[in-house]
Amino acid sequence: MKKLLLILLCLPFIGFGQGWIKGYVDAHAYSVEQTNDGGYILAGEISTPNNHSDIWLLKTDGQGNQQWVNTFGTVERDACYAVKQTTDGGYILAGHIGETDTAHGEVWMSKVDSVGNQIWSNTYGDGNSSYSIEQTNDGCFVFGGNGGVHKTDNNGNLQWSHNYDSDLASIIHLTKTFDGGFIIAGLDTMINACIMKIDSLGIKQWKKIYGSNNTDWEQISSTQEIVGGIILVGEQEFVSGPNIGYNNVWLIKTNPLGDTLWERSVLVDRFPFISARSIQQTSDGGFIISGFAAVSNQQNDYDIILLKTDANGVKQWSNIFGGSGIDVSFSVRQTLDGGYIIAGISESHTYTLIKTDGNGNITSTFNIPIPNPNRKLEKVVDILGRETKQTNQTLLYLYDDGTVEKRIVIE
């Protein structure tokens, strides 16, 4: 009596699952980048026994599995808000150290090697943290913090500093431009949302203010220079009109001089509150945005939101990730396989790192077609590729339409 113990139909794959979720206990991730080897570098903070925090730096492989981790810090509250891989394969970090209940701490920057060993660490005076950092074309670094923008050499020594007290009350984001200068996003002295362009020496070139009379609060959280202009994302709270009482994703495209080309207020599932914190242009010319949304009327109940638009800022799809409690994201990047990687803060420590496919899904589905009933068997081979008619072993049945069946027939 013959028994067919196992049949596995092997056909050309139509799609692969590209998504997964990783949680790292007691860690919050504020920044993520895909590294040259296809893995990921995460930076943030990790809880310490004294109820404070240390700077946390984690390197993973392409599946989010830890390769190495390192921490830095003082006995107070320390955090890293930005990390970038440098041209030498190491990493540059920016944030703050030494924050207490009564003091902001110091603006902090550090350079580490390719496996997270600290090469140097510098502080740059009391004040607000640094939330952005860029490596310049000459191998140096520029960061925003402590009320201004600062450039250091490759060892962290200051080369120049500029404060923009008459133009900016706060600096939220800084990004490098094609000409070697920088776009600064923040709030001006009248608490208006604005961006300012500076050259490679930190000299102001122009400043633009954005907003309307229909909103009570507006903020630009992230920017990127793109071909033909600049894309800005933030949030706005409406005080009149059909969207009164809602915080929406605020998306603006400008020309290279900051003049508005179009502006979008993107509603996502009528959530009462949405905060957009990170944007990047995608390979199809559209934009990927991450942030967080209040998904219910309960206090402190936020989920991570991922939003994709086309090149004109029109919503294509959105997705949310999270459970009960607080789950938020401050960083998203498109990955080499066309998916997206999201860094998060999760009250449950479940959603520290999220990888999705190109449609924002953690799991992908694909259909396996039914075999052609008219196909013809060409030959049967063993696992070494030798033709055989023997049973009681793993056999591969090869058909003329290119399909393969893997069988174990027991007699």
Start-to-end CA distance of the chain, whole Å, equals 6
The tally of domains found in the chain comes to 2
pLDDT band per the 50, 70, 90 thresholds, residue 6: very low
Whether residue 157 sits in one domain with residue 213: yes
Amino acid identity of 88?
D
Q: Write out the E strands in 61-181.
A: 66-72, 77-85, 91-99, 106-112, 118-126, 132-135, 141-145, 148-152, 158-163, 170-176
Q: What's the token pair of residue 292?
A: 């967080």
* pLDDT average, residue stretch 200-212: 94
Asked if 389 and 333 sit in the same domain, the reply is no
pLDDT tens digits along 80-115: 999 999 999 999 999 999 998 888 889 999 999 999
CA distance 290 to 83: 17
Query: Of the candidates 384, 372, 363, which has an alpha carbon nearest to the alpha carbon of residue 11?
Result: 372
Q: Are residues 305 and 168 in the same domain?
A: yes
> Does one domain contain both 71 and 118?
yes
User: What is the full DSSP assignment across 375-406?
Assistant: --EEEEEETTS-B----SSEEEEEETTS-EEE
Looking at residue 2, what is its pLDDT? 46
Residues in the chain: 411
Q: Is residue 368 in some structural domain?
A: no
Calculate the average pLDDT of the chain. Answer: 87
Residue 369 belongs to some domain of the structure: no
pTM of the model: 0.83
367 inside domain: no
Q: What pLDDT was estimated at residue 242?
A: 62
Q: pLDDT confidence of 332, banded at 50, 70, 90? A: very high
Distance CA 411, CA 408 (A): 10
Cα separation, 116 vs 101, in Å, equals: 29
Dist. CA 209–CA 197, nearest whole Å = 12
- The answer to the question of residue 133 being in a domain is yes
Q: Residues 151, 248: one domain? A: yes
Q: Are residues 44 and 93 in the same domain?
A: yes
The tokens describing 359, both together, are 């449609």
Work out the angle at residue 37's Cα, subtended by the Cα atoms of residues 34 and 39, and round it to the nearest 5 degrees.
45
Q: Which of 2-11, 182-191, 339-348 has the lowest mean pLDDT?
A: 2-11
Q: 261-280: string of b/e by CB count within 10 Å (b at 16+)? A: eebbbbebeebeebbbbbbb
Taking the CB of residue 250, how many other CB atoms lie within 10 A of it?
25
Question: Average pLDDT in the 148-176 region?
Answer: 94
Task: Give the CATH number of the domain where residue 193 resides.
Answer: 2.130.10.10
Cα separations in angstroms, 72 against 58, 59, 79, 108, 165? 12, 15, 9, 11, 32
148 and 236, same domain (yes or no): yes
CA distance 251 to 263: 6
Distance CA 269, CA 293 (A): 10
In a domain? residue 258: yes
- Beta bridge partners of residue 254, listed in sequence order: 230, 260
**Is a pLDDT exceeding 60 seen at residue 7?**
no
Looking at residue 353, the DSSP 8-state letter turns out to be: E
Cα separation, 313 vs 194, in Å, equals 19
Predicted local confidence at residue 105, as pLDDT = 87
Quick one: what percent of the chain has pLDDT higher than 70? 85
Q: Which of 101-105, 166-170, 322-326 has the highest mean pLDDT?
A: 166-170
Domain assignment of residue 404, given as a range: 3-11+377-410
CA dihedral sign, ordered 256, 257, 263, 265: positive
- On whether both 282 and 395 belong to a single domain, the answer is no
Q: Looking at the structure, tell me whether residues 279 and 191 fall in a common domain.
A: yes
Domain match, 146 and 33 both: yes
User: How far is residue 94 from each of residues 26, 98, 129, measured CA to CA in Å?
Assistant: 20, 14, 8
Tell me: do 152 and 255 sit in the same domain: yes
Query: Does some domain include residue 7?
Result: yes
Distance (Å, rounded) from C-alpha 178 to C-alpha 225?
A: 7
